[in-house]
Amino acid sequence: MNYLSVNGISKSYGIKTLFADVTFGIDKGDKTALIATNGSGKSTMLKILVGKENPDSGTITYANDIKIGYLEQLPVYPSGIRISDLLADLTEEQHLKARQFLTRFALNDLEQSVSELSGGQVKRLALALVLLHEPDFLILDEPTNHLDVEMVEWLERFLTQSSMTLLMVTHDRYFLDRVCNKIFELYQGVMYTHNGNFDYYVQKSREREEVKRATAERNSQLLKRELEWIRSTPQARTGKSKSRIDAFYDLKERSRYQEEDQRLEFGLKMQRLGGKILELSNVSKSYGDIAVLRDFDYVFKRGERIGLIGKNGVGKSTFLNLITGSVTPDKGRIKTGETVTYGYYRQEGIQFDESKTVLSTLRDIAEVMAYGKDKVYTAEQLLAHFMFPYKMHRQPVALLSGGEKRRLYLLTVLVSNPNFLILDEPTNDLDLLTLQKLEDFLQGYKGCLLVVSHDRYFMDQVVDQLFVFQGDGMVKGFMGNYSQYKDWLTAKQMAERKEKVGQMKEDSRPVRQREKVKRSFKEQREYEQLTLEIAQLEAEKQDIEAALNTESDYQKLQQMGSRVQEIIDLLDEKELRWLELDEIGNNK
DSSP class per residue in 82-112? BHHHHTTT--HHHHHHHHHHHHHTT---TTS
Q: What is the mean pLDDT of residues 257-277?
A: 56
Task: Give, in order, the Cα–Cα distances in Å from 337 to each of 75, 106, 320.
Answer: 42, 38, 16
**3-class DSSP state of 184:** strand
CA-based nearest residue to 474, from 285, 279, 278, 280: 285
CB 458 within 8 A of CB 308: no
The answer on pLDDT for 247 being more than 80 is no
Q: What is the mean pLDDT of residues 81-94?
A: 87
DSSP string, 25-77: EEETT-EEEEE--TTSSHHHHHHHHTTSS--SEEEEEEPTT--EEEE-SS---
Q: Cβ of 195: how many Cβ atoms within 10 Å?
A: 11
* Maximum average pLDDT range among 14-23, 475-484, 509-518, 540-549: 475-484
For the stretch 162-208, pLDDT in tens is: 889 999 999 888 999 889 989 998 887 888 888 877 777 777 777 76
Task: Give, in order, the Cα–Cα distances in Å from 126 to each of 84, 137, 139, 140, 459.
Answer: 13, 16, 12, 11, 26
The answer on pLDDT for 136 being more than 70 is yes
Buried b (16+ CB within 10 A) or exposed e, 491-503: eeebeebeeebee
The answer on pLDDT for 235 being more than 80 is no
The answer on pLDDT for 264 being more than 50 is no
The answer on pLDDT for 395 being more than 50 is yes
pLDDT at 458: 94
pLDDT at 383: 85
Higher pLDDT, 335 or 377: 335
Higher pLDDT, 370 or 325: 325
> What is the C-alpha radius of gyration for the chain, rounded to an integer number of angstroms?
28
Q: What is the mean pLDDT of the chain?
A: 82
Could you tell me the pLDDT band of residue 338, with boundaries at 50, 70 and 90? confident
The answer on pLDDT for 11 being more than 80 is yes
The answer on pLDDT for 511 being more than 70 is no
Could you tell me the pLDDT band of residue 255, with boundaries at 50, 70 and 90? low
Percent of the chain with pLDDT over 90: 34
Could you tell me the pLDDT band of residue 68, with boundaries at 50, 70 and 90? very high
User: Which strands sit side by side in the sheet containing 278-287, from one edge to the other?
Assistant: 290-300, 278-287, 331-336
pLDDT at 126: 93
* Maximum average pLDDT range among 110-119, 137-146, 205-214, 387-396: 137-146
Could you tell me the pLDDT band of residue 259, with boundaries at 50, 70 and 90? very low
pLDDT at 23: 94
Higher pLDDT, 244 or 6: 6
- CATH topology for 2-201? Rossmann fold (3.40.50)
The answer on pLDDT for 72 being more than 70 is yes
Rounded Cα gap, residues 538 and 533, in angstroms: 9
Higher pLDDT, 217 or 102: 102
Which H/E stretch holds residue 199? helix 198-231
CB 583 within 8 A of CB 518: no
Rounded Cα gap, residues 196 and 255, in angstroms: 31
Percent of the chain with pLDDT over 70: 82
pLDDT at 125: 92
* 329 phi and psi angles, rounded to 5 deg: -70, 155
The answer on pLDDT for 148 being more than 50 is yes
pLDDT at 261: 40
C-alpha angle 504-509-514 in degrees, rounded to nearest 5: 105
The answer on pLDDT for 372 being more than 60 is no
Q: What is the mean pLDDT of residues 498-524?
A: 63
The answer on pLDDT for 262 being more than 50 is no
User: Which strands sit side by side in the sheet containing 16-27, from one edge to the other?
Assistant: 16-27, 2-13, 57-62
What is the 3 state secondary structure string of 296-354?
EEEEECCCCEEEEECCCCCCHHHHHHHHHCCCCCCEEEEEECCCCCEEEECCCCCCCCC
Name which CATH class applies to 278-485.
Answer: alpha beta
Which positions ≥6 away from 100 have C-beta within 8 Å? 543, 546, 547, 550
Could you tell me the pLDDT band of residue 257, with boundaries at 50, 70 and 90? very low
CB 69 within 8 A of CB 133: yes
Rounded Cα gap, residues 394 and 57, in angstroms: 29
Rounded Cα gap, residues 263 and 108, in angstroms: 45
pLDDT at 192: 87
* Helices 119-132 and 149-161: angle between axes, nearest 10 degrees: 20
Q: Cβ of 34: how many Cβ atoms within 10 Å?
A: 25
**Alpha-helical segments (H) within 415-553:** 432-443, 456-462, 482-500, 502-507, 521-548
Least confident interval from 260-274, 311-325, 329-343, 555-569: 260-274
pLDDT at 260: 39
CA-based nearest residue to 76, from 68, 86, 89: 86
Rounded Cα gap, residues 300 and 147, in angstroms: 28
Which positions ≥6 away from 497 have C-beta within 8 Å? 534, 571, 575
The answer on pLDDT for 306 being more than 60 is yes
